[in-house]
Amino acid sequence: MLAFLGAVALLQVQTDARLAKAFRKDQAGWIYTHLEGKPKDIGFQYGYLLAAEIDDAHRALKGTGLGSKTWAWYRIETKKLFWEKLDPEYQQELTGMAEGMVAKGYKYDVWDMLAFNAHIEVGGYYVPWLESQRTGKVVTGAKEACSAFVAVGKTTKDGKVVMGHNLWWDYIMGQRFNAVLDIKPEKGNRVMMDALCGFIHSGSDFAINSAGLMLCETTISGFHGFDPEGLPEFMRMRKAIQYGNSLDDMVRIFKKGNNGGYANTWLMADTRSNEIGKLQLGLKNVVFDRTKDGFYVGSNFPEDPKIIKDEVIGFNPDPNANGCIRRKVRWNSLLTQNQGKVDAVLAQSFLGDTYDEVLGRKGASGSTLCGRADGFGGLSGAVNSLVGTSDSVGKMSLWARMGFSDGSTLDPGEFFKKFPQQKWAQPYLRSIPTQPWIRMKAL
């Protein structure tokens, strides 16, 4: 009798009306996930369809990425910091996600979902801010994550927009940034973005929308500062791409309630007006540039003098001493040398570039566009890549490659033999195979 009742309950979930328009499709290491409807329904679909992957990402984060804090602390602090500041639709998405996971048999609640979505800005920005308040010493927890460019006009082959981005992250969590979310919400624009499984924002970040906008970022290294009264970065990012219909819209959304969390240089484009922008989003200083002819690049370097002076620790502009600046040099060289030629194919090759032209060295490192820091130097690198163009955005599509941007591989067994000091990662690190570039289209 109990088995029969269990089967009936399962049938009810499988035929739940909330799942009618939602589905997932696994491709070349990615999980394309279509979500559609009211906010709570979108959340339920997400939690149900990706329950195993979300659970796995939570376990990996708790096992490797919380630093000195506990998960219980994250749950309490993020509830206190952010819950009442979230727009109701995102409260509903997070609630629905927890319900979807419970329907699949996992024990999670909305506070787990909230803490998970906020963990980057809390761990990397709020925790250092608390330490600064306690000791009086300025500290930073900002990551050096991602390489990116956006170009238009004389730089590109057709004069339209081309954008490319790869995610630099620790391999453990980075290989779990393998969702491509296609969200068709009740309000706002349709959104397509890569994400860590369980994020309602991107976090990586690369996103496009049905209004013809593109968005990506690279972090500002050495950044310090946080406003606990501000709005969470993860909500502002999601709102910018969901409700933005112009560059000005996105800038306005990012600035409103800016808390300094996950401080980034945001590269953006409006494919309808054929214009690109660069938003250096500090906490005290915000700088926005735009053009219809040229390019902007990002590789974790702070650029505005006031941001460097007021909000960054230890910045060294010498390319011989700073890998971020060496990547900037390489971006500028590649885009200048290929003026009038840049398209999706070249963008893909740029993201896989492993030449340090300042030092004259070949091979992926912390100073090449496709970065790798293995073994004694760390356990991180460029673990996924995305490219979009004006034409692809018009068709709600993009090019994506999961794994290292240059197609190289990582075998955990061989890795731990070579770097035994990294064996703490064994329970969570998976192999990283070569995956192809694929074209992904909203379905």
Same domain (yes/no): 77, 172 = no
7 CB neighbour count, 10 Å cutoff: 10
Farthest CA pair distance, the chain: 73
* The total number of residues written for the chain in this structure: 443
Number of domains in the chain: 2
**SS3 at position 397:** strand
Query: Across-strand partners of 162?
Result: 151, 389
Does residue 435 belong to any structural domain of this protein? Answer: yes
- Token pair, residue 88, equals 């109701």
Does residue 173 belong to any structural domain of this protein? Answer: yes
**SS3 at position 250:** helix
Q: How far is CA 334 from CA 187, 278, 297, 328, 406, in A?
A: 40, 19, 11, 10, 16
Classify residue 375 by its DSSP letter.
G
Same domain (yes/no): 309, 238 = yes
229 CB neighbour count, 10 Å cutoff: 9
* pLDDT values of the chain reduced to their tens digit, one per residue, 443 residues: 444 334 434 444 456 999 999 999 999 999 999 999 999 999 999 999 999 999 999 999 999 999 999 999 999 999 999 999 999 999 999 999 999 999 999 999 999 999 999 999 999 999 999 999 999 999 999 988 899 999 999 999 999 999 999 999 999 999 999 999 999 999 999 999 999 999 999 999 999 999 999 999 999 999 999 999 999 999 999 999 999 999 999 999 999 999 999 999 999 999 999 999 999 999 999 999 999 999 999 999 999 999 999 999 999 999 999 999 999 999 999 999 999 999 999 999 999 999 999 999 999 999 999 999 987 667 999 999 999 999 999 999 999 999 999 999 999 999 999 999 999 999 999 999 999 999 999 99
Same domain (yes/no): 97, 160 = no
Does residue 141 belong to any structural domain of this protein? Answer: no
Does residue 116 belong to any structural domain of this protein? Answer: yes
Does residue 142 belong to any structural domain of this protein? Answer: no
* CB contact set of 342 (below 8 Å; sequence gap of 6+): 151, 155, 156, 157, 162, 335
Does residue 195 belong to any structural domain of this protein? Answer: yes
**SS3 at position 259:** coil
The whole-angstrom separation of Cα 394 and Cα 210 is 7
The whole-angstrom separation of Cα 194 and Cα 214 is 12
* CB contact set of 164 (below 8 Å; sequence gap of 6+): 148, 149, 150, 347, 348, 350, 351, 385, 386, 387
Last residue in a domain, options 110, 135, 160:
135
The whole-angstrom separation of Cα 432 and Cα 411 is 7
Last residue in a domain, options 83, 102, 135:
135
CB 384 within 8 A of CB 174: yes
Does residue 259 belong to any structural domain of this protein? Answer: yes
Choose among 285, 278, 288: nearest CA to 310: 285
Show the domain range for 80: 2-135
In this structure, what is the dihedral angle of CA atoms 252, 256, 262, 263, given to the nearest 10 degrees? 60
Same domain (yes/no): 127, 174 = no
Same domain (yes/no): 126, 153 = no
The whole-angstrom separation of Cα 150 and Cα 211 is 18
Same domain (yes/no): 16, 113 = yes
Same domain (yes/no): 119, 151 = no
Same domain (yes/no): 329, 437 = yes
Helices (H), 175-246: 233-243
The whole-angstrom separation of Cα 53 and Cα 42 is 17
HSE-up of residue 39 (Cα within 13 Å, Cβ side): 15
Same domain (yes/no): 373, 431 = yes
Task: Write down the pLDDT at residue 242.
Answer: 99
Same domain (yes/no): 226, 127 = no
Same domain (yes/no): 240, 109 = no
Does residue 395 belong to any structural domain of this protein? Answer: yes
373 CB neighbour count, 10 Å cutoff: 19
Last residue in a domain, options 67, 102, 135:
135
Domain at 72, CATH number: 1.10.439
Domain at 393, CATH number: 3.60.60.20
The whole-angstrom separation of Cα 294 and Cα 304 is 19
pTM above 0.75, yes or no: yes
- Token pair, residue 237, equals 């990012």
**φ, ψ at 242 (rounded to 5°):** -75, -40
Same domain (yes/no): 123, 151 = no
CB 188 within 8 A of CB 242: yes
